[in-house]
Structure 1
């Protein structure tokens, strides 16, 4: 049985809570994208602001199309939020194109988000849906590597995204470590190579590597693999939990410990939806501390 994760501090009634920003696409099925981010943010007790990058035509069986938002509008959303409301951390999800990536990178640099700025940036490098539907133009991978990842406080690819970005096929602990180092070489401060898709293991082993002034830092977090066919939005939910914890001032390793517990609990509570994959479920948070059942 997986323990319920420790919860983040919440603001008292009438007090302004911690604020975060998600820069991502909309999932019309409600399981991933900004919808997954905002569900988790709300249930973790933080106020979520949004910069929408694309509108997808999506349900539980896949993505049948999307419309990218004009890059200056994406940039203006970020700037409007940060200069008025203020944020403690930000995350990226689906960015769709090189033009949007570059608009996001430029605006984040101006506002001190990621890189050497004061505001942590979680980069979830969304390239395709869980069904394999492309969510990033093929010619945008170079900008993802050269412009966005170097701004990342932490980058959180799944194994398919790792292969696209680094060329490394992660099949075991050795290749997982090689992939994390390759992501650090691209300029990320911390690299998380998730083990949720590592089907050779009966566990879900995540590897976090960080490159700092005192040398390389390594953290392995190994949770039970949750046997569910309903895991839509798991990567978004993990990245959102990381973002919320970083906004509270957690270190990257401590933020990951919280986020891994959160997404594991959401996987336990996942539910069927439509004819395809159902979503992970942060709604366990409002149902009380019930014992999880599988």
Structure 2
């Protein structure tokens, strides 16, 4: 039996709501095999981020080489990258992968508002953006990356997430070099427990692509998965808690 091998390059969330922890949970529940290259260790909980310790670039690369050289990879998800140096080195390594879809979630600010990427790191994102099959910024991140024309500049697709918009409805738009490919509108789920939504969505998309879904189908399944996870939030912590785990989610929905 073959299983989609998903390499996650991201930071660790000690509270378990986002980051590597959310990524592994998502890939596993969607039927993939999760592999990791941890870029940073964070001390965080539902109230915010109390500390960040970047992993040295050579160790991030060593983790990537270990899994690619032995197990192989069908798709890559990039989240928190840790430093500008690591972003450049990861871009160099991933550029050598042939035909492996990359989902880039340009993590700049945590749901709590804590900054997770400095200006130099954000500037280094451009090379990763050019390699990605799709990147998944929220509205503030999209603005920081130059707006919707980023899809044209980097010949990629941008899933502009609408969760930071106003009103009872939210709209996610998939934008390609030629313009809007598709838009999805949904009723906003009324919960404060949204920690990890971006990580979860990007990992779900990467899993779908690794399993052979096309981009639109992978996004549709990922959105359904995130919405179910939001509806199952267990209400942990004193702030923005983690989502739930939809163990009964139909993988091929």
TM-score by length of 2: 0.94
Kept in 1, the 8 Å contact 2:111–2:194? The answer is no
Q: 1:203-282 to 2 correspondence within 5 Å? A: 203-211=169-177, 215-216=178-179, 218-281=181-244
Unaligned runs of 5+ in 1: 1-14, 167-178, 290-294
* Bigger Rg, structure 1 or 2: 1
Matching residue of 2:138: 158
Distance 2:42 2:123 in 1: 23
Deviations 1:106-127 (A, max 9, x none): 11012x1xxxx30000000001
Secondary structure of the corresponding residue to residue 284 of structure 1: coil
Secondary structure of the corresponding residue to residue 246 of structure 2: helix
Cα distance change on mapping 1:60 and 1:140 into 2, 3 Å: same
In the TM superposition, structure 1's runs of 4+ consecutive aligned residues that sit over 3 Å from their partners are: none
Displacement, 1:280?
Answer: 1.4
Structural RMSD (CA): 1.5
Kept in 1, the 8 Å contact 2:11–2:80? The answer is yes
Distance 2:44 2:180 in 1: 39
Displacement, 1:16?
Answer: 4.3
Secondary structure of the corresponding residue to residue 91 of structure 1: strand
Matching residue of 2:87: 101
Q: 1:1-294 to 2 correspondence within 5 Å? A: 15-110=1-96, 112=97, 117-145=98-126, 147-166=127-146, 179-180=147-148, 182-199=149-166, 201-211=167-177, 215-216=178-179, 218-281=181-244, 283-286=245-248
Unaligned runs of 5+ in 2: none
Displacement, 1:271?
Answer: 2.1
Distance 2:203 2:91 in 1: 19
Displacement, 1:163?
Answer: 2.2
Cα distance change on mapping 1:55 and 1:151 into 2, 3 Å: same
Displacement, 1:187?
Answer: 0.6
Cα distance change on mapping 1:138 and 1:216 into 2, 3 Å: closer
Distance 2:3 2:120 in 1: 39
Secondary structure of the corresponding residue to residue 194 of structure 2: coil
Kept in 2, the 8 Å contact 1:60–1:278? The answer is yes
Distance 1:85 1:192 in 2: 29
Secondary structure of the corresponding residue to residue 233 of structure 2: coil
Displacement, 1:139?
Answer: 1.8
Distance 1:78 1:188 in 2: 25
